[in-house]
Amino acid sequence: MKQQNGQWSFIFKYAKEKKLFFLFSILLAILKIGFELVPYFLLPSVLDAFISGNREISFYVVRFSIMFGCLVLSLILKALSTSLSHFATFHSLANIRKDMLDKLSKMSLGDIENISIGSLKNIIVERVDSIETTMAHIIPEVTSCLIGALTLVIYLFGFVDYRLGFASLISVGIGFFFLSFMYIGNKESWANCIDKTKILNDTAVDYINGIEVIKIFGKEKDSYEKFKVACHDGAYCFIDWQKRCNLWFAIGLVVAPSVLLGILPIGALMLMDNSITLTTYIIAIITSVAVIAPLITVMSYQDDLAKVGQIVGECKIILANKELVRPETMEKKLSGYNISIKDAKFGYTKEQMVLNGVSLDIKENQFIALVGPSGAGKSTIAKLVASYYDLDSGSVSLGGVDVKEIPLATYNQYISYVGQSNYLFNMSIMENIRLAKPDASDEDIINICKKCGCHDFIMNLENGYQTMVGSKGGHISGGERQRITIARAMLKDAPIVILDEATAYSDPENEVIIEKAISALTKGKTLIVIAHRLSTITSADNIVVVDHGQIVQQGKHEQLLEEDGLYQRMWHSHISFKDEVETC
């Protein structure tokens, strides 16, 4: 019961903004039922007149005209009711999705990465869409159907004959008794269906995203087999669930509407015994049959009602995720853009610590390089500076203000971050770059691309700046994606620029061009670079060497080369490898 109350409170929370539309939708649906009931109240007088021998045509014309008019009005009201409920529903579903996406924007990046893309897509798109039936149809239609059925039952018991009323409900009671077995022990089966659907979504996304790797390494058979198993499980879990329900559902659906099995023989006996009139008998038959239609409509939504609780639960899991601790407004003023990390400890899980007490001061307008072995914690430090995570302990401050005291939207204005993924949206190059600064003109974007050294290759594309880059930027090369993301970051013109392997996909010639462009565009800014090629960061004001989640060295290139430490060994390895490549 608590779960049901919870799911309805969740639904009504998002319906609240358009509650008047839902209210009018329900009122129109009830009014529709009212017009549909009018013929049942007129029919006794028509039958009595006909049985008594009334042959006055106008009498019947008037009454049948009223009945027909009520039918037309009920259809019009149904259309209006459905339109209002759908308008309010799709608005409410949009708000649910907006809230979930807003929640993702406020969550720690690590928490987001722990949720599979397939599951997120399934919940936000398909699962939320499944609530449409509940909100657009069940709320107005079930409400009106139940009221209509109840009104007809009261009419049958109170104004026709209560004995025939009981006779008509015999099959309904037996039918609902069998239907109740549908829900006994099937909760686990339905939960299994949901789990298998999530696995299918995740497997499909992995298969599609990894298709290049699958082809390169000839893993089509193995990967397809995994996908095929997920498809099989995703199908047969529903088949098994249906097998558990179908027998009881079929029996209930056959027995419940069979009201004539009770009312015909009992009513006939009462008619022969002169306990009722022929008119009463006919009206009772018509009314009892009419009661079944709205009840069957209500029964047809049982599956949707059963699903709602699970769907709402999944939405709540996303919405209940912990947010980054940030205020809505900023009360303190920054005193410059100095960055200070104090005794930072952080792990993506409680069992796996990545940073173990890191402390680092980055002065405004400095060029800082983070170097070290793979997995040492370089990118984690950069992402903490970008405020993608909250520390387990310690602090990160900007301009003397703890980042936890700065609103996310405000803090994001100070940071331009170019990560290793180089993600582009499926729209034009021009619009992808404009994301960094929505009010930028086309000329602004073209100028920044010229400075970043990517104007020429863009102009060589078929549609220039209006070229659609495809999903994830798949229509252009990795190096081109990287240069576009760098241009986007530079257009933002933030005082702090973070580049995580910004030239990883570039050939040596373009790497030099990009490095010169970055050097020119980041003058007067704080530049934090994560690099594996040490030759690209020799001019850094401070090279920070990270190993096993700790800072083991820091200083200028020449100073670190004189020390017998990790940087010296990394440099010699870098030079040796470079010489070997040049020799080859």
Nearest to 402 by CA among 332, 491, 502, 314: 332
pLDDT above 80 (res 478): no
**Model confidence at 577: pLDDT above 70:** no
Domain 418-493, CATH homologous superfamily name and number? P-loop containing nucleotide triphosphate hydrolases (3.40.50.300)
| Residue 244: pLDDT over 80 | no
pLDDT of 51 over the 90 cut? no
**In the chain, % of residues over pLDDT 70:** 89
pTM score: 0.67
- Report whether pLDDT(277) > 90: no
Task: Looking at the structure, give the CATH architecture of the domain made up of residues 1-160.
Answer: Up-down Bundle (1.20)
pLDDT for position 303: 66
Residue 327, φ and ψ in degrees, nearest 5: -80, 165
Confidence (pLDDT) at 398: 92
Tokens at 289, concatenated: 């049959």
Of the pLDDT bands very low, low, confident and very high (cuts 50, 70, 90), residue 192 is confident
pLDDT at position 559 over 50? yes
Mean pLDDT of 175-200: 73
Does residue 84 carry a pLDDT above 80? yes
Six token digits for residue 233: 């499980």
> What residues does each domain of the chain span?
1-160, 418-493
Q: What is the pLDDT of residue 212?
A: 62
Q: For residue 229, what are its two tokens?
A: 């198993």
How confident is the model over 320-332, as a mean pLDDT?
A: 83
Considering only residues 148 and 466, tell me which one the structure prediction assigns the higher pLDDT.
466
List, for residues 502-531, the tens digit of each pLDDT value: 665 555 666 666 677 777 777 888 999 988
584 pLDDT exceeds 70?
no
CA dihedral 492, 495, 500, 502 (to 10 degrees): 60
The Cα–Cα gap between 22 and 30 comes to 12
User: What is the C-alpha to C-alpha distance for residues 21 and 136, in angstroms, rounded to an integer?
Assistant: 11
Q: Which tens digits make up the pLDDT trace of 214-236? A: 656 566 666 667 777 888 787 77
At 104, which helix (H) or strand (E)? helix 57-106
pLDDT in tens, 86-129: 888 888 888 888 888 888 888 887 778 777 777 788 788 878 88
How much of the chain exceeds pLDDT 90, in percent?
13
Mean pLDDT of all residues belonging to the chain: 82
Looking at mean pLDDT, say which of 417-421, 463-467, 579-583 comes out highest: 463-467
3-state secondary structure of 359: strand
Amino acid at 55: R
Q: Is 148 exposed, middle or buried (0-12, 13-18, 19+ CB in 10 A)?
A: buried
Interval 64-73 mean pLDDT: 92
- Of the candidates 143, 27, 10, 25, the one whose C-alpha atom is nearest the C-alpha of residue 84 is 25
All residues at 6 or more sequence positions from 544 whose CB lies less than 8 Å from its CB, including other chains: 360, 368, 369, 370, 371, 551, 553, 554
Beginning with the edge strand found earlier in the chain, give each strand of the sheet holding 526-530 in spatial order: 415-418, 496-500, 526-530, 367-371, 542-547, 550-555
Greater model confidence, 286 or 211: 286
pLDDT tens string 32-48: 888 888 888 888 888 88
According to the model, what pLDDT value does residue 480 have?
Answer: 82
Most confident range, picked from 136-150, 228-242, 406-420: 406-420
**What pLDDT score was predicted for residue 6?**
57
3-state secondary structure of 70: helix
Task: Note the pLDDT tens digit of each residue in 453-474.
Answer: 788 888 988 889 999 988 777 7
Whether the Cβ atoms of residue 480 and residue 452 lie closer than 8 Å to each other: no
| Per-residue CA distances from 237 to 169, 206, 232, 550 (Å) | 36, 21, 8, 49
Report the C-alpha gap between 296 and 253 in whole angstroms.
8
Same fold, 1-160 and 418-493: no
Determine the pLDDT at residue 342.
Answer: 94
CB 430 within 8 A of CB 490: no
What does the pLDDT read at residue 408?
A: 86
Mean local confidence (pLDDT), 344-350 = 83
What is the arithmetic mean of pLDDT over 385-408? Answer: 89
Give the confidence band of 581 by pLDDT, cuts at 50, 70, 90.
very low
Q: Supply the pLDDT for residue 339.
A: 93
Task: Output the pLDDT for position 1.
Answer: 46
